């Protein structure tokens, strides 16, 4: 899936079709990992869940362009994540992210509140509080 000019790999688990979709989940991995590290978690979810696990740029099966100045900038990765979520039509999902994946999901949620009904962030790396000064629980509810 195109993520602002970079192809990001997405693994999708579709519901069985026997019942309506029970929930939608989006999984993002930590730095140095890949999306398939979530396989054991996903296989334990309800068969009618719709799941996406996404490889960030430079990870797993996603494009690996040379990093600018030797590093991939996380804000750019977050923009790519949001672009992919828009392309996939993700709405009201539960986002689950580990470390860098938590950062990417949080920033995607801040860019479009319709993506997630909730976030489960495992050992997330987040910016200083001043970075989120415009975000409050009250503003997120609107």
Domain boundaries, the chain: 2-141
Task: Give the model's pLDDT for residue 140.
Answer: 57
Strands (E) in 6-54, as ranges, are: 6-7, 10-13, 23-28, 49-54
Residue 87 has pLDDT above 80, yes or no: yes
Average pLDDT over residues 127-139: 61
| Cβ contact 19:55 at 8 Å | no
**Tell me, what DSSP letter sits at residue 69?**
T
Can you give the C-alpha Rg of the chain in angstroms? 15
pTM for this prediction? 0.84
| Cβ contact 116:110 at 8 Å | no
d(CA 52, CA 141): 25
* Better-predicted residue by pLDDT, 34 or 140: 34
d(CA 47, CA 21): 9
The CATH number that domain 2-141 falls under is 3.40.50.1820
Residue 92 has pLDDT above 80, yes or no: yes
């Amino acid at each position: 899936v195109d993520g602002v000019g970079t192809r990001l790999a997405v693994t999708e688990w579709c519901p069985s079709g026997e019942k309506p979709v029970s929930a939608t989940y989006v999984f993002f991995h930590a730095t140095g990992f890949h999306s398939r590290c979530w396989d054991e978690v996903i296989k334990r979810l309800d068969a009618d869940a719709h799941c996406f696990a996404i490889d960030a740029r430079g990870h797993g099966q996603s494009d690996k362009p040379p990093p600018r100045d030797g590093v991939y900038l996380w804000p750019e990765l977050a923009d790519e994540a949001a672009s992919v979520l828009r392309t996939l039509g993700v709405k009201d999902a539960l986002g689950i992210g580990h470390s860098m994946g938590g950062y990417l999901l949080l920033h995607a949620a801040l860019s479009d509140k319709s993506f997630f009904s909730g976030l489960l962030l495992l050992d997330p790396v987040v910016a200083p509080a001043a970075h989120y000064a415009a975000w409050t629980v009250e503003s997120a509810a609107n």
